[in-house]
Amino acid sequence: MNKKGTGRNRPYATSTYFPLGKNFVCKKFNNTFKKTKIILKILDNSFNEIKDLEAFEFENNYISPNNKKNLVVIRDFFGYTVEGEKLFVGNTQKGFHFTIFDTNGNKLYEISRPYEKIPITSKHKQEEMKELLKTVGKTRYERSKKKYNYLYPEFFPAYSNFTVDENKIYVLTYPKIDGQKKMLVLDQKGNLLNSLMVPTREYNENFCIYKNKYYYIFDNNESEKWEIHVIKINDLGTGR
């Protein structure tokens, strides 16, 4: 029998609670040595759990025969965003797929689009390692190579991130080309409206689109400062 305070009955770790109408939405994480399971949950305004919306599970691949830790560089995407009275959930384990819920967690509809499965080549891996070297510096890079086996899936996932603004879905896709990625612009039913090339930061693709402007973080190596850059969507080049 576990005693209070031993820490053996801890609840799942949770992400930030995000407002969804009169309710909230969050991710809950359950980690074991072999697997990580993420459950997307709806909570009421007292933070009582109402409903599980979707689950996402992957193997951790910690063990390696060469005494290094395995590190999966590119994983499937699982995330969400709220736009008005709708919750958009992206899950690339299902392909190029989104599920849209109302504020009570009732499923409204799904979006599933065909996409090209792009193999991850040795050239892609070399580019990833160049970006890692640029991001962390030579000393940390050499130390990380001794500590980790960098693992890659056979194919890139359907996309790497997304957001929703003013009734449009903006989806970042693979691969990265010269520091840029192709962004697909969809309507809320999943119909393609446009494709654009957008700059992305190495190993961190957090971005924001608000009122037809693309905001992203830029690492200025000359000034050694982080900068927020803003580009009008209409000024971005079309996808190739």
Tens digits of per-residue pLDDT, 185-217? Answer: 999 999 999 999 998 876 667 788 998 899 988
Structural tokens at position 97: 């797929």
Residue 6 confidence (pLDDT): 41
Query: What is the rounded CA–CA span in Å between residue 208 and residue 162?
Result: 9
CB 27 within 8 A of CB 39: yes
pLDDT, residue 144, reads 87
| pLDDT score at 200 | 83
Range name among 19-28, 37-46, 78-87, 199-208 with the lowest pLDDT average: 199-208
In angstroms, the CA 238 to CA 230 distance is: 17
Q: Give residue 135's pLDDT.
A: 74
Rounded Cα gap, residues 18 and 42, in angstroms: 10
pTM across the whole model: 0.86
Cβ–Cβ under 8 Å, residues 190 and 125: no
